[in-house]
Structures are given as structure tokens and as C-alpha cells.
Chain A
Amino acid sequence: MFKHLLVLAITTIFVENVVLVRFLGICPFLGVSKNTGTAVGMGMAVTFVITISSVMTWLVSNYVLDPLGLEYLRTLSFILIIAGLVQLVEMFTQKSIPSLYNALGIYLPLITTNCVVLGVALLNVQNDHTFEEALVYGISSGLSFTLAIFLFAGVREKLEASDVPQFLKGFPIALITAGLIAIAFLGFAGLQL
């Protein structure tokens, strides 16, 4: 059982990285990756929301929606749960980590519509995950988002100081960098687990 969950976690973080392989959550990935500190903060916030929301949505989906035959309400109720959780995270960061709250700015409430969060919740249902699997899948998806955004922010910080041709400065070079990192992550596809 433990081995199975470990394999699931490693697969999610590296082989099927949510951002770089599945291409979910690109908006905050590009939006708040200008410095590593903020990027890790965003990663942690997303990890928290994904973990709780994937557990909550699993419970709601398996114990409320499925028995009542209300599968069609899945997306709607998942969004409701995620929105509530994001509000909670927003209040929490504003109270305890105001600097992070200010740095994340508009991207914090935007976690609500972040497709990583909804995507993980829906994939849990689609892949018939058990409760433990849903929990591990949630955490490791959050970590894989954090890893991707942290690596990307590190490269972008270096880019600030490097001599980039005028027409590629800023966003264009960031997009190219994101593409290159994604290609690098394809290397994990050969991992035998």
C-alpha cells in the first residue's frame, strides 16, 4: 500500500507534473514567478488548497453526490468547495502573513479558478482514487506545482540579470523558458516505477 502511494506521489510530482506535463495552472505559473520567495508562497497556498479540496471533494463526491445520483453536480459543487477554501486561505494569509498576501495580490483569489485545483479534484473522481490516494494525489499535485513554479522563478531571476535581446525581454523569454523546462521534464517520462 505504502509503496503504491509513493509511486503515485513520484509519478504526480515528476512524470506527470501538473504544470509542465499536464499544462494545468499556467496563469499563476507565469504570473507570480518573478521571484522565488513569492513563488514558493504561492506554491504553498496552492498546495494547501489542493490538499484540503481534494479530500473534501472526494468525500462530497463519494458520500453525497454518488449515492444520490447527482454526478452532474460534480463541477458545480467542487467549485463551491474550492471557492470557500480559497476565501479561508485568503483570510488566513492576510492575518498571519501579510507580506505574502500583498505579494500574491490578485493571484490569491484567482486560485479559485485555477485549473490545477479543479483538475485534481475531477481527476480523483475520474481515476477512481481511494481516500488515501486522493489525499496523496492532492498533496503531491500541490508539491509538483510548487516545484515547477520554484524552478521557473529561479530561472527567471537569473534572466533578469542576463543580456536578453531587446525583442525577447520580459514575457517572451519567460514563455520560451517555460517551454524548455517542460521539455526537460519530459525526460522523466522514461522513469520505470
Chain B
Amino acid sequence: MDILNAVLVLGALGLVLGLLLALASKYLSVQQDERIELITQALPAANCGGCGYPGCGALAVAIVENKAAVNACPVGGAACAEKIAEIMGLEKGAVEEKVAMVLCAGVKSAAKNKFEYDGVEDCTAASLLAGGERACLYGCIGLGSCERKCVFDAIKVVDGVAVVDHEKCTACGVCVATCPKDIIKLIPKDKAYTVACSSKDKGSVMKNICTVGCIACRLCEKVCPTEAITVEDNLASIDYEKCINCGQCEQKCPKKIIHVKAELLNISNFERNGCQIKDKVV
């Protein structure tokens, strides 16, 4: 009997409160942007937090408020981004697909060490100790903090330098945020060339500590037909708005640090041939 009472009392209490809330939700409902609901449905509903927001609902709100990009969801990938772009009224293909690149090529044989690090296997910890064991203050530390953070298994440390697998990379940006040296950048997927160096040291310094460092010779800047590549603070950088994948900088670079993405080699050859200034190609 007691049990029945208890069940009844709690049940009645729940019912009364439920009715009250149902009424309240009718009179106090807030007109929400309907796109929020649509985008929430388009998202994978994994609530993994990979985008940096607390769950898919919060990301949907951020997208509608233009605080997040339509391709902010690292899990849904391109298909999901396209759906959301459609909901947001953006044109198809307006979503620029990106991919992470490690802007350092200082493998163990190329970049000198200034001391031997024998501490915690973590890039942030190592970088706190005189900037890490590498003589170059800007280079990859190679202890794999990014590798451990990547949920897609897309970044690996090979011979002391992190390398991104572009097939697996979803441009979620976790490695970009993790890297204490800030040398991982998201670049457009359809652009073939990157400057694989982040050093702002002078050429004379660079020559002595790394064989694959930018020496700021400005040859790439001079050869670029669209002024897309510029040297600032002793470092060449590419403006991807202007870059046309012609590849002349890659050929000119005396240090061979302008890299071409392997999987885009064919595309870039095609584009290189189709490009108007092909006569200039040496």
C-alpha cells in the first residue's frame, strides 16, 4: 500500500509539473530561427565536440549566427558541409575545402639540434625548455602532440617532422590549435604548393642550422606571375587567393622547400599546361 502511495504521489507530482511546463512552453515559446533546427538535423548528431562547440545544437546556432563556418563540423565532412551551405543559402561549392599542412620540412638529417631533449614526450613541454631541442626556433619539434590529438589518424611524425595524410585530413583544426610552434596551417585543398618552412630567422642564420630552411632569397617572389608569393620577415608565404598553381616558385626555389602535394601533382600539371603563362615556365 505504501508503495502504491509513493508511486501515486510522485506520478501526480510529475504530471502536474509536466502539464505546467507544457502550458509554459506554449505561451513562452521563443520563435527560433528555423535554420537552426534544419542544420541540427543535417549535422551527424554525434555531439562529439570536435568542432569546439558543446554539441551539434550549439554549432548549429553558431553557424546561423555566422560565428562558425558551414564546414565547421569535422565529422560530417564535405557532404554535411554542402547540405548546411544549402540551408544557409550559400551557393554550391562556396565551401572551400581545406587541408592541414605542416609548414616545416626539417627532418632529423636536415635540421640541427642545439641540445638533446630527454623529457616528457610532448611538444608543448619541450617547447617550454628553450624552445625545444631544434636549433631552429620555428621548426617542428617532432614529439607528436598533434599526432596524439588527431582523431582521424591523419597526422604522423615521420623522421622528426609531422606529416599530414591528405586523404584522411578533415581540416578540423585540432592539430593547428595543438601545435605550440604554430606551424600547422589550413590551406585550400585545390592549391598544390606550400612553403614548407616557418622560420623567420635571417638567411645567414638559417643556412647554418637547417638545410631545408627559407633563406629569404626572394627568387620565388620574383618569378611568381601573379604576385601571390611574398617574402616578409625572412619567410616566403603564399597568398592562396592569388596563387594559380603554376609551380614556377617550386622550380625556382634553391632550397627546394616549396613543396607540391603529391596527390595534386597531376592536377597541377594539367593546370600548369593550361595556364596562360606556360611559355615562361623554364
The residues of A with any CB-CB pair to B shorter than 8 Å are: 60, 64-65, 68-70, 73, 76-77, 80-81, 83-84, 87-88, 91-92, 94-95, 98
23 CB < 8 A contacts A-B: A64-B9, A64-B13, A65-B9, A68-B9, A69-B5, A70-B2, A70-B9, A73-B10, A77-B9, A77-B10, A77-B13, A80-B17, A81-B13, A84-B18, A84-B20, A87-B24, A91-B21, A91-B25, A92-B24, A92-B28, A94-B30, A95-B28, A95-B29
Do A80 and B14 have beta carbons less than 8 Å apart? yes
Minimum CB–CB distance from B9 to chain A (whole Å) comes to 6
How many chain B residues touch A (CB < 8 A): the figure is 16
Which residues of B pack against A, CB within 8 Å? Answer: 2, 5-6, 9-10, 13-14, 17-18, 20-21, 24-25, 28-30
Interface of chain A, main secondary structure: helix
* A73 adjacent to B9 (CB under 8 Å): yes
Q: Chain B: which residue is nearest A85 at the CB level?
A: B17
Nearest CB on A from B52, distance (A): 16
Whether B13 contacts A80 by the Cβ 8 Å rule is yes
CA distance A94 to B27 in the complex (A): 12
Which residue of chain B has the shortest Cβ distance to A101 in the bound complex? B30
Which chain A positions have C-beta within 8 A of B30? 91, 94-95, 98
Q: Which residues of A contact B14 (CB under 8 A)?
A: 80
B57 to chain A, nearest CB (A): 13
In the complex the two chains form, what is the Cα distance from A60 to B13 in whole Å?
A: 9
Provide the residues of chain B in CB contact with A77, threshold 8 Å: 9-10, 13
Knowing A69-B2, A73-B6, say if A91 contacts B13 (CB, 8 Å).
Answer: no
Q: Write the chain B residue with the least CB distance to A84.
A: B17
Name the residue of chain A whose CB is nearest to the CB of B8.
Answer: A68
| B10 close to A80 (CB less than 8 A) | yes
Q: Which residues in B have their C-beta under 8 angstroms from that of A84?
A: 17-18, 20-21
A88 to B29, CA, bound (A): 11
* CB atoms of A81 and B6 under 8 A apart: no
Name the B residues within 8 Å of A70 (CB-CB).
Answer: 2, 5-6, 9
Bound-state CA distance A26–B24 (Å) is 30
Q: List, in ascending order, chain A residues with CB within 8 A of B5's CB.
A: 68-70
